Structure 1
Amino acid sequence: MGQGIVTLGILAGGLGLFLLAVTMITEGLKLAAGNALRDMLGKWTRSPGHGIVTGMSMTAVVQSSSAVTVAIIGFVNAGLLAMPQALGVVFGANIGTTMTGWLVAVIGFKIKVETFALPLIGVGMILRLAGGDSRRAQFGTALAGFGLFFMGIDVLRQAFEGLAVGIDLQRLTVEGVPGVLMFVGIGFLMTVLTQSSSAAIAITLTAATGGILSLHAAASMVIGANIGTTSTAALAVIGATPNAKRVAAAHIIFNIGTGVVALLILPILFWVVKVTGKFLGLEDIPAVTLAMFHTMFNVLGVLLMWPATRRLAKFLERRFVTLEEIEGRAKYLDKTVTVSPMLALNALTLEISRIATISRRMALAALSAESGPDRQMAKDRMIMDKLSLAVADFITRLERERLTDEVSAQLAKMLRAEQHLLACADQALVVAKAQAKPVIVDDEGLQNSLNHYRAEVVRLIGLTNPEIKDFSLAGCEALLEQVQSSYDDVKSALLIAGAELRSPVSGLIELVERNSHIRRMARQMVKAMRYLNALYVINDIQFPETPKAGVGKEAPGV
């Protein structure tokens, strides 16, 4: 009993060393690389094929498919990588994780720890202590991590050798499909508990080498560990962006699909592994056989999934769709309307009208914000960026045709209107951020002036909508002049209050600056309306439904 407890303690210690080592390797190499990981992913993922090689190589180096996957999610969210390219990296990362098995098999059982691992730890920690905050110090952390990696493997090996003496292997044997599924479940559970497929695979390989597990049972556990990595992906994207969920879904589909295929053809895979091992002259020991098995079924998974990469990407892009993504898609711009300049101009005007609605919504939200920009404002700004990019791409395609001077002039108006709307949205974010710093004004008359000024701006923003029945550009211009006059009056009153020390000067200066941003926001919106109204008149834009009041209303189709 006492010996069993000691053995379990050694097993837990070896697992702890292994997990610590993997963390040190991953973090050390990520920090030592600096922006190299990002740059490499950006340059070496031009196609799914390049992505597979890149994902495989980088995961093998940093010993963490999670680190590579997180970087990929960031690139997809930033629009720097298309989904097919991202899927290639995800597939390659799964092959890269098999490097752990090879390190355990080829090096972990072939060396004396004291002649290899301990010097690595020593040199690594010297670099860490002497390097300060430099990349050399982070590389030292990774080097020490590699030393701990092999120490952890050695401790695990000793623990399983001790367990093999006191365990009746017959009790662990379950024949047929139930037995295979049981060991798959054990591998899956080990990965879920440790949140590291590398740890689960290292344990499996050392257990098989120590005689605890049969080869087929260990292979089933390797498959289970591979599937278990999907739990990390599923947990990581709870509440995450749609792109993050799509990348995680690709990871889950790949691993479960590959695992199922491997189970269905398990005898054939073992035959191929044995033939390949003999051909390559590899030693016929459990650890090497299992490492090759792990690599082979992941490579098989990539070969099966690669031809369907683009179809899978399209399938995933139709899933996890949010309202923001729906709004961010161009509704009226289509290649079919480019055949006629008149149709194209109508479509562009309608699309810019959608951008105007979102900009107006942000402006009104900014004036009512009390704790800084909320999530909806941030989402609205992203929607505007996507629509703006769609408009720019459409105009670029349109300009390839021979256009009249009149059409070119209208395109210029559209671009100016769009730029003013984007500027209005940027000012709205500045105003909302400033609102998070409350300024207390004790002077009742001054507070009334501030309230009146903001109310006029709210009224103006609500009227800057060519789609409402009573829209008047002249009325907007007149109200803008009133806003300018109110701004001047409030600014003068604030400065006088500061000179007379009726309120803290710093707070009054903050209010002057905030009101200036509010005025700029209103001016940008009116400037946009000058161009948008002209486009409405020229193209005779008609909407089937028009809201009775513009304040806080969304345009049709937004």
Structure 2
Amino acid sequence: MLLLVNLLGGIGLFLLGMTMLTDGLKLAAGGALERILAAWTRTRLYGLLTGILVTALVQSSTAMTVAAIGFVNAGLLSFTSALWVVFGSNLGSSVTGWLVALIGFKFQIDAFALPFIGVGMALKLSGEGTRRGGLGGTLAGFGLLFLGIDLLKEGFGGLGPDALPDMGRDLGGMLLAVLIGLLLTVVLQASSATLTIALTAVAGGMIPLETAAAIVIGANIGTTLTGIVAAINATPNARRLAAAHVLFNVVTAVVAMALLSPLLELIRYVGVRFMHDGNPVTQLVIFHSAFNALGVLLMWPLSTPLVRFLQARFQTVEEDELRPHYLDLNVASVPSLALQALRRELARMGHLALQLATEATQLNPTRLPRTVPTLQAETKLAHKLAVVEHLQKDIGSFVSQMSRQQLHQDVADKLPELLRIATHFDTLSRVMYHVGVLGAHDVRTVDLGTSAASTLHASAPVNLNAPATDLPSAVAPVFIAALAFFKSADPESEGRSAEGKWLASEARDAFEDTYQTTKAHLLHAGASGQFPVTTVYDWLARLSDLRRAVEQGHKASQRLSALSDLAPTPTNATEKPPFSETIPAEQTPDSAGPVTRSRA
């Protein structure tokens, strides 16, 4: 019973240490990971090295693979770059084996691990939520990880070589060992843990080297399951990446099984002949590194056709508009990158909201004579409103998921602002849906506008200088000014530029001038009896709603523009980040923004 307790406790401590180490590094890294992804994944060699180094730090190829899928889903990594990061993560997982072999079996672990835990927890408790606290969590996790290894050593050492029946070294026995490694990794959710168990079992003489090697091969296959689950309902690129990970690990496992005996014989010969080391633990670590390196060498010439093959897949169904395109719970665990994904999703939400606003405005007087809209016009508006509302809920859920973690203060301070932007876009959509429905209704039941109807073609724009002899003609300039604003405020519009923030403000000011002028004219015309007062009130109420929508859109565009710049968009991605703004040259450094004109 004591031996079983040691084994379970060792596995638990190892997994706890790995979790603390990974979470601490994410918090301590801050924006460094974002800069690494931007600068060190531009070629497949850089992507491979990045995968190796980051996996060596976080001590989990599974975590790195799931994170890479999340980054692709969030638009932060291109498919090709992420592919080599994942391949590198498999090779980087060998670092865990080397640490266990070189430290876990050659040092007194208590003396080594306990200082790490003590110093780490002191830093963590004194700097909760800061980078210092993240570093402390990393150090404490590192110490716990090795305490877990020490317990596993004691447990397997006490079992002895006869504790388990010999599975045999024939094909059936090796396949059974592969299956055991696969199942262990699925249960523990960490191939590094399975590798550590195999190493300690070999060190304790419980299983032979060949069986341990087959278990390690199974662990490599088992680590793909987490990636497959992470890619369910993800973007096409994320599903392609999960498929590539499965192909890489399965091909590597098949080759390793085919070459198992020759590889082990070669490693044993080299170890004894040149390194004077016949230790089976070292030989197992070398085997693990060798067959992962062999997999990378196999994929190097095959990567181009593999990319072409996968890019032709997962394209049969277009992504559902209701589903977020950038938000992914896998990337939520890295706050600085989650902010980038949120900003991209907010830009997409804003684009959809402003599309709705544009279509709703066009159902009102913008061209005279007005044309009767199709019966589907209101249904389309309702669908777009449902999409925006659904995205707002998803953004709120994603922010809630982030807030459950330890966050750096800079990140925590930005979350309310992101929710505020989503609220602005949602309010704009609701108001403009109402304005659009009113426009579609009255164009079917009231005067379509007669100003210059005899001289203007049905598709011609309104002549703003023509005298307004009917209400549609009188209010048309306000709707035209609103159209101009909605176009300038769209964060994904083709016409966005470095001065987009200021152009949106100018368009808002132009709309406000037109609104105030038109409002005064309508009130004067109603008082003089030119137009029915009740009808004037109806149009003024609609123009007031339009003005509210413009103000909401202006607030959202200004707040979105004030956020920090996005990381570079992947070169082969189709997504476009929101425009980033720079202050025009004539603005002084002390200027807070465009001067708002006073209204009478």
The TM-score by the shorter chain falls in which range?
Answer: 0.5 to 0.7
8 Å contact 1:371–1:433 — kept in the other structure? no
Matched, 1:138 2:165: no
* SS in structure 2 of the partner of residue 240 of structure 1: coil
Q: Which amino acid aligns with 1:244?
A: A
Question: What is the distance in 2 between the residues matched to 1:87 and 1:448?
Answer: 46
Question: What is the distance in 2 between the residues matched to 1:519 and 1:125?
Answer: 47
Identify the residue that residue 176 of structure 1 maps to in structure 2.
170
8 Å contact 1:457–1:483 — kept in the other structure? no
Identify the residue that residue 249 of structure 2 maps to in structure 1.
255
* SS in structure 2 of the partner of residue 92 of structure 1: helix
Greater helix content: 1
- Residues 446-479 of structure 1 show CA distances to partners (whole Å, capped at 9, x for unaligned) of x9999534646999xxxxxxxxxxx942278897
Tell me how far 1:41 sits from its aligned partner: 2.0
Question: What is the distance in 1 between the residues matched to 2:34 and 2:425?
Answer: 32
Question: What is the distance in 1 between the residues matched to 2:423 and 2:130?
Answer: 36
Identify the residue that residue 459 of structure 2 maps to in structure 1.
473
Matched, 1:315 2:305: no
Tell me how far 1:278 sits from its aligned partner: 4.0
Tell me how far 1:205 sits from its aligned partner: 0.9
8 Å contact 2:167–2:174 — kept in the other structure? no
Identify the residue that residue 190 of structure 2 maps to in structure 1.
196
Q: Which amino acid aligns with 1:126?
A: A
Provide the TM-score with structure 1 as the length reference. Answer: 0.64
Instruction: Quickly say closer, same or farther: Cα 1:97–1:450, change in 2 above 3 A.
Output: closer
Which of 214, 230, 233 matches 1:220?
214
Tell me how far 1:84 sits from its aligned partner: 2.8
Instruction: Quickly say closer, same or farther: Cα 1:434–1:94, change in 2 above 3 A.
Output: same
Matched, 1:433 2:426: yes
Q: What are the within-5 Å matches in structure 2 for residues 437-448 of structure 1?
A: none
Identify the residue that residue 597 of structure 2 maps to in structure 1.
none
8 Å contact 1:84–1:310 — kept in the other structure? no
Farther-moved stretch of structure 1 (242-251 vs 294-303): 242-251
Structure 1: gaps of 5 or more residues: 328-354, 379-428, 440-446, 460-470, 495-506, 521-558
Q: Which amino acid aligns with 2:172?
A: P
8 Å contact 1:190–1:225 — kept in the other structure? yes
* SS in structure 1 of the partner of residue 460 of structure 2: helix
Question: What is the distance in 2 between the residues matched to 1:368 and 1:235?
Answer: 30
8 Å contact 1:453–1:483 — kept in the other structure? no
Q: Which amino acid aligns with 2:388?
A: P
Which of 367, 388, 393 matches 1:373?
388
Matched, 1:300 2:294: yes
8 Å contact 1:13–1:155 — kept in the other structure? yes
Tell me how far 1:73 sits from its aligned partner: 3.5
Q: What are the within-5 Å matches in structure 2 for residues 44-443 of structure 1?
A: 44-77=40-73, 81-164=77-160, 167=163, 169=164, 171-278=165-272, 281=275, 283-321=277-315, 323-324=317-318, 363=359, 365-366=380-381, 373=388, 433-434=426-427
Tell me how far 1:432 sits from its aligned partner: 6.4
- Residues 392-416 of structure 1 show CA distances to partners (whole Å, capped at 9, x for unaligned) of xxxxxxxxxxxxxxxxxxxxxxxxx
Which of 24, 30, 37 matches 1:34?
30
8 Å contact 2:357–2:429 — kept in the other structure? no
Query: Percent identity between the aligned chains?
Result: 43
How much is the aligned-residue C-alpha RMSD, in angstroms?
Answer: 4.2
Provide the TM-score with structure 2 as the length reference. Answer: 0.60
Instruction: Quickly say closer, same or farther: Cα 1:515–1:124, change in 2 above 3 A.
Output: closer
Tell me how far 1:60 sits from its aligned partner: 0.7
Question: What is the distance in 1 between the residues matched to 2:320 and 2:436?
Answer: 38
8 Å contact 2:79–2:238 — kept in the other structure? no
Q: Which amino acid aligns with 2:11?
A: L
Tell me how far 1:513 sits from its aligned partner: 4.1
Number of positions where the alignment pairs a residue of Structure 1 with one of Structure 2: 409
8 Å contact 2:231–2:239 — kept in the other structure? yes
Question: What is the distance in 1 between the residues matched to 2:463 and 2:234?
Answer: 43
- Residues 152-208 of structure 1 show CA distances to partners (whole Å, capped at 9, x for unaligned) of 0010111112222762x4x23234111010000000000001111111111111111
Question: What is the distance in 2 between the residues matched to 1:513 and 1:373?
Answer: 20
Instruction: Quickly say closer, same or farther: Cα 1:519–1:55, change in 2 above 3 A.
Output: closer
- Residues 131-160 of structure 1 show CA distances to partners (whole Å, capped at 9, x for unaligned) of 233211111110011111110001011111
8 Å contact 1:372–1:432 — kept in the other structure? no
Tell me how far 1:483 sits from its aligned partner: 5.0
Identify the residue that residue 438 of structure 2 maps to in structure 1.
452
- Residues 45-86 of structure 1 show CA distances to partners (whole Å, capped at 9, x for unaligned) of 221112111211111111122443344345545656443332
